[in-house]
Amino acid sequence: MAQKRPASQQATPAKRRKLQDPAAWYESYSGATADYYKRYMDKEWGVPIYGPGRSRDNKLFEMLSLEGAQAGLSWDTILRKREAYPPSKVTSLLKSPGEGSAVIVKNRGKIESVIRNAKLSLQAAEEYGSFCKFLWSFVKGRPKVNRWKNMKRIPVVTKEAMEMSKELKKRGFGFVGPTICYALMQSIGMVNDHPVNSPQWKRVNDIVERRFGK
Integer distance in angstroms from the first to the last C-alpha of the chain? 27
- Is 167 considered catalytic here? no
143 is in an annotated binding site: no
- Is 75 considered catalytic here? yes
- Is 126 considered catalytic here? no
CA 117 to mean position of chain CA atoms: 16
H/E element, 12: none
Catalytic one of 67, 136, 160, 182: 67
H/E element, 192: strand 191-192
Catalytic one of 40, 148, 182, 201: 40
**157 phi/psi in degrees, rounded to 5:** -160, 150
Catalytic one of 25, 37, 50, 75: 75
**CA-CA distance, 150 to 18, in Å (whole number)?**
15
Point out the annotated binding site for Zn(2+): 194
Point out the annotated binding site: 194
Annotated catalytic residues are: 40, 67, 75
